Structure 1
Amino acid sequence: MLQYVAEVASENVHQYAPGIGNLSLRQEILTHYSHLNYDESQLLVTQGATEALSLVMQYLRYVIHDDFAVMAFDPVYESYKHLPRIFKLPFYAYEKLDFEKEELEQYIQNNKIRVIFINSPGNPFVYVFSEQQMNDLREVCERNDAYLIIDAVYRELWYEEPIYLPEKELSVNVFYVNSFSKMLSITGWRIGYLFCHKKHAEVLRDIHDYIGLCVNAPLQEALSRYLKSESFGKMYVERTRKLLKSSYEQMSNELVNLGYEVPKAYGGYYVWAKLPDKIDGFQFAMNLYEDESVAVIPGMHFSDRANDYLRFNIARPKNEIAKGIEKVVKFSRQYFS
């Protein structure tokens, strides 16, 4: 990919890109999703998935005129709870990942929830929702005039089986957000995209024009050339899946042997682990960093119920993972004794 960055650096691609995205990049994305028969008007290239999420949130705040609330599943990725805070909307963290459809629908109605964020695989806990759960969520949203915002940034990084998302023939109630950040390990490039129903497209583009304008022009061009030559990054993604699965198994096995509880994950970048004996995760994380220079994220960052949890990032080279595990094992044994 870097060869294409060097290639475009001396070319005439350093002015504003089209607001809707580099035209060649848009074509690569549309070709990748051609089996879904999306119209080009439904696609918008954004400054990472983060801009797409906030763009949809701002749009829905504009078009929903009644008081409403926002929901995501606990533990919650930070953007899902802070975007409602910024827009002064109530937020609810639903605690049952293995939800019952009728119970969830009643919860949505009782709390006036009109927007639901979902990621699968998740962050911090890499939970994968089943096809039935995803379809149930879509149906509940459609019946209750609520909107489902699918954050699909980890969808290609599965360990066992591909991830199902209700993306076919996007209904008015479903927004689909994705990014190249995690898939291709280019989080600093900030290139994402959004698919929506045609009904929403014009206003979303209008908002984007005045708060995002466009995405980095040279990097979009470089990415477009890479995707075209490398079958949308197929080989890189396949290697990354294998690396992540191996690192997950290595890290989780070591943590379990130390007394942590590690729920099974089926993809993604992280190990979500519960400390033994209700040890305070924040203090543990601070001490681990001070003593061993290993950074983990305390669970309290994602949930009020996760004070004794930690999120470990396994999206690093094997030698770094091995060294990190060695330091975590050493520190944990001392801390638990």
Structure 2
Amino acid sequence: MNKDPLKTRSSKLPHVGTTIFTVMSKLATETGAINLSQGFPGFDCSPELVSLVEQYLQKGFNQYAPMTGVPALREALAQKAVNQYNVSYDPETEVTITSGATEAIFAAITAVVRPGDEVIVFEPAYDSYVPAIELNGGTPVYITLAPANESAPETHTADYTIDWQLVAEKITDKTRLILVNTPHNPTGRVWTTTDLDQLANLIQDRAIWVVSDEVYEHILFDCRKHHSLMTHPVLQERTFVIGSFGKTFHITGWKVGYCFAPRPLTTEFRKIHQYLTFSTVTPIQYALADYLKNPDHYLQLPAFYQHKRDLFLDGLRQSRFRFRTTEGSFFQTVSYADISHEPDYELALRLTKEIGVAAIPVSVFYHRKNDYRVLRFCFAKDDATLIEAADRLSKL
């Protein structure tokens, strides 16, 4: 009798199952709960952008785009980097269009990580990082960030701050890459110029590269500024800066991302990219190139999302949840330590079934499932949904 071939081979990712985003979104659909778990907007994109896509569809821009991305979009992104950050990238050799930011992150990690290399990961971390490291034979080295004392006033030391001395201690001769995410998912923390300087001091004399996940670059609050790693001369020359149109223009289903990197890194990046997706949907690229010509399309995002953040939190202020207002991204974490001693995963399930609001338990973003009794809510929803969700949660 032939054996089942799947049972005779070990899994490449033995600890990976169905993602928490799939689990919670499915449960929300089954129970009719308000879905504040998965990070996607609950409203449509601009009709102008849809119209531009339709125009390029009708004009016949429906065949393969160049592997690197259509020139018009790469040029628009390079100009945006100059306008916003005063940093120059060659659109021909240093800007690449990808099928989503997740693909770009995987390609960047694959380009530089070899078996036996160590990769520093700040956790809680987005769930695609570590599988990409492990599939390339790398070893994740974790820097665990924790919430500050939730009983302290909101003016207390910011949550999830980085202990740079600990980072220095974790760096070895095997360290090949450091993964950065700012604004941060799930915590909403935003890096400062001090963070950039500290990182640069640690790696400037070492053969260490950086992948900087900056998909929420335009979603910052309370007059904060996004300090892209491309703005630091030491970091810029060794960093893959990853962005996403999905988060910026409310088009997560279109899966269009991009990567800025110096020419030597881009050369290696494209070697991987060409065998992952080769090219990204053509008419959408042309439409985005046109849409980027008006900076207001992304410069208005901080005010747009700050209104939603504040609306949601105003509704929670009479609840027993504790929180510090998020600095960036469209996620808000809250502590339920005064409400329940349940594990966060169990409470997230119960909230979905009994209260009718789905959230993400933050423990899933830690490799050891650290449970600080914190939940993450996505407030990229219409106002009525946020008001109703906050009202339900306040009754807990």
Alpha-carbon distance between aligned partners in 2 of 1:104 and 1:32, rounded to the nearest angstrom: 32
CA contact (8 A) 2:185 2:331 kept: yes
Match of 1:54 in 2: 106
Shift of 1:221: 1.5
CA contact (8 A) 1:261 1:273 kept: yes
Equivalent of residue 119 in structure 2, options 60, 63, 70: 70
Aligned residues: 323
> SS at the partner of 2:353?
helix
Match of 2:363 in 1: 300
Equivalent of residue 114 in structure 1, options 176, 181, 189: 176
What residue identity is the alignment partner of 1:285? A
> SS at the partner of 1:143?
coil
Match of 1:266 in 2: 327
Alpha-carbon distance between aligned partners in 2 of 1:274 and 1:116, rounded to the nearest angstrom: 29
* Residue correspondence of structure 1 range 161-176 to structure 2 within 5 A: 161-168=224-231, 169=233, 171-176=236-241
Normalized against structure 1, the TM-score is what?
0.89
Shift of 1:135: 2.0
Alpha-carbon distance between aligned partners in 2 of 1:77 and 1:326, rounded to the nearest angstrom: 29
1:22 to 2:70 alignment: yes
What residue identity is the alignment partner of 1:33? A
Give the direction of change, closer, same or farther, for the CA distance of 1:181–1:213 in structure 2 (3 Å limit). Answer: same
Shift of 1:124: 0.3
Match of 1:211 in 2: 276
RMSD over aligned CA atoms reads 2.0
Q: Percent identity?
A: 22
Higher RCO structure, 1 or 2 (CA under 8 Å, sep 6+)? 2
Shift of 1:253: 4.4
Shift of 1:2: 1.2
CA contact (8 A) 2:110 2:132 kept: no
1:196 to 2:267 alignment: no
CA contact (8 A) 1:75 1:93 kept: no
CA contact (8 A) 1:68 1:114 kept: yes
Match of 1:249 in 2: 310
Alpha-carbon distance between aligned partners in 2 of 1:127 and 1:269, rounded to the nearest angstrom: 11
CA contact (8 A) 1:251 1:271 kept: no
Alpha-carbon distance between aligned partners in 2 of 1:245 and 1:278, rounded to the nearest angstrom: 31
* Residue correspondence of structure 1 range 152-191 to structure 2 within 5 A: 152-159=214-221, 160-168=223-231, 169=233, 171-191=236-256
CA contact (8 A) 1:109 1:144 kept: no
> SS at the partner of 1:122?
coil
Match of 1:141 in 2: 203
Alpha-carbon distance between aligned partners in 1 of 2:79 and 2:307, rounded to the nearest angstrom: 31
* Residue correspondence of structure 1 range 25-104 to structure 2 within 5 A: 25-34=73-82, 35-40=86-91, 41-61=93-113, 64=114, 67-96=116-145, 97-104=160-167
Equivalent of residue 380 in structure 2, options 300, 306, 315: 315
* Residue correspondence of structure 1 range 226-245 to structure 2 within 5 A: 226-228=291-293, 231-232=294-295, 234=296, 236-245=297-306
Match of 1:224 in 2: 289
What residue identity is the alignment partner of 1:178? G
What residue identity is the alignment partner of 1:104? V
CA contact (8 A) 2:94 2:266 kept: yes
What residue identity is the alignment partner of 1:299? V
> SS at the partner of 2:323?
coil
Match of 1:8 in 2: 56
What do the CA deviations read for 1:159-183 (whole angstroms, capped 9, x no partner)? 1221112313564421111111111
> SS at the partner of 2:274?
helix
Normalized against structure 2, the TM-score is what?
0.76
What do the CA deviations read for 1:48-79 (whole angstroms, capped 9, x no partner)? 11111000111112xx57x2222222211112
What do the CA deviations read for 1:213-243 (whole angstroms, capped 9, x no partner)? 0001111112122222xx14x2x43443223
What do the CA deviations read for 1:257-293 (whole angstroms, capped 9, x no partner)? 4222313421111001121243321111112222344
Higher mean displacement: 287-296 or 255-264: 255-264
CA contact (8 A) 1:17 1:217 kept: yes
Alpha-carbon distance between aligned partners in 2 of 1:237 and 1:199, rounded to the nearest angstrom: 30
Shift of 1:121: 1.0
Shift of 1:118: 1.0
Shift of 1:210: 1.8
Give the direction of change, closer, same or farther, for the CA distance of 1:239–1:318 in structure 2 (3 Å limit). Answer: farther
Shift of 1:307: 5.3
Alpha-carbon distance between aligned partners in 2 of 1:275 and 1:142, rounded to the nearest angstrom: 41
Shift of 1:244: 1.9
Match of 2:347 in 1: 284
> SS at the partner of 2:246?
coil
Alpha-carbon distance between aligned partners in 2 of 1:139 and 1:328, rounded to the nearest angstrom: 44
Alpha-carbon distance between aligned partners in 1 of 2:299 and 2:77, rounded to the nearest angstrom: 18
Name structure 2 gaps, 5 residues minimum. 1-48, 146-159
